[in-house]
Amino acid sequence: MTEPTSTPGIAQPLARYSAWRRAGDFVFLSGVIAVDPAAARIVRGYADIPEAAATLIGKSGEFSTDLREGPILAQSWYVLDRIRQTMEAAGGKMSDVFKLVQYFRDLDHFPHYSRVRKLFFPGEPPASTVVEVSAMLPSDEILIEVEATAYLPR
């Protein structure tokens, strides 16, 4: 099966690799970061995601709070929304995801990410691995990367 790597909205690779691949009944997503490669734009805060999403994940309107929490909350929403869109492009849904590997630049961001993740996985959460790393591509502004594995019988 050819993966629709040019489908708008799905997680787009920054280099020469697939956004996702199917192997039998399993779908493997590459790590997703909060970057729109087509626009060469990094999600830096609430202004870079839809207003409804910003409000849903906790935009307070208080400058100091939003400046501090906005980057990790907005990147978390963006990454999980791209995983959702990619799963839909593969013919599945978020509930088909059974495993996540989450990479953080700072593990103190995990509680913020966890709040957002609950919006995308309101039922039984996937099995998870959480790792702190020293850097991520393409820049130090990337705070989180998430890869997903799904079971999607044909």
* Reported CATH class of domain 20-151: alpha beta
Per-residue model confidence as pLDDT tens digits over 29-43: 999 999 987 788 999
Give the pLDDT confidence of 34-73 residue by residue, as tens digits: 998 778 899 999 999 999 999 999 999 999 999 999 999 9
Report the predicted TM-score, pTM, of the whole model to 2 decimal places.
Answer: 0.90
Residue type at 41? R
